[in-house]
Amino acid sequence: AQKVTQAQTEISVVEKEDVTLDCVYETRDTTYYLFWYKQPPSGELVFLIRRNSFDEQNEISGRYSWNFQKSTSSFNFTITASQVVDSAVYFCALSDPYNTDKLIFGTGTRLQVFP
């Protein structure tokens, strides 16, 4: 069975601190996709990244970076120099290999960044 675990329910940091959100997944598939989404208070899920299981290269996009480690089934997300606008709930998700629209989400991590 496929499963995504986000053990951190809530994280609070002060602006400019770095913060890492953890994601551990379970799947028997050899091909799969991993995602991160941001959900601000408005409710709309905002796509951040999609990673193919065959691509273990870490990725950096501005203040965001992702560390994919297949050996530990983890796909962690780091925000560098956090800002108040980063406050949101962040979801990690795993997709069905044949349908990347069918996402299995974790329970999310609420990040609060204080000024």
Does position 42 bind another protein by CB under 8 A? Answer: yes
Angle CA 12–15–16, to nearest 5:
120
Nearer to another protein, 21 or 106 (CB): 106
Partners of residue 49 on adjacent β-strands? 36
Query: Among the candidate windows 13-21, 66-74, 77-85, 98-106, which touches another protein by CB under 8 A?
Result: 98-106
Strand partners, 58: none
88 in contact with another protein (CB under 8 A): no
State the nearest-atom distance from the C-beta of 89 to another protein, in Å.
9
Min separation Cβ 63 and another protein, Å: 20
Select from 17, 32, 105, 20 the least CA-distant residue to 73: 32
Could you count the other beta carbons within 10 Å of the beta carbon of residue 56?
Answer: 12
Q: Is 41 in the site for another protein (CB under 8 A)?
A: no
Helix or strand or coil: residue 31?
A: coil
54 binds another protein (CB under 8 A): no
Tokens of 112: 């609060």
Interface with another protein (CB under 8 A): 4, 37, 42-47, 50, 91, 93, 96, 99-108
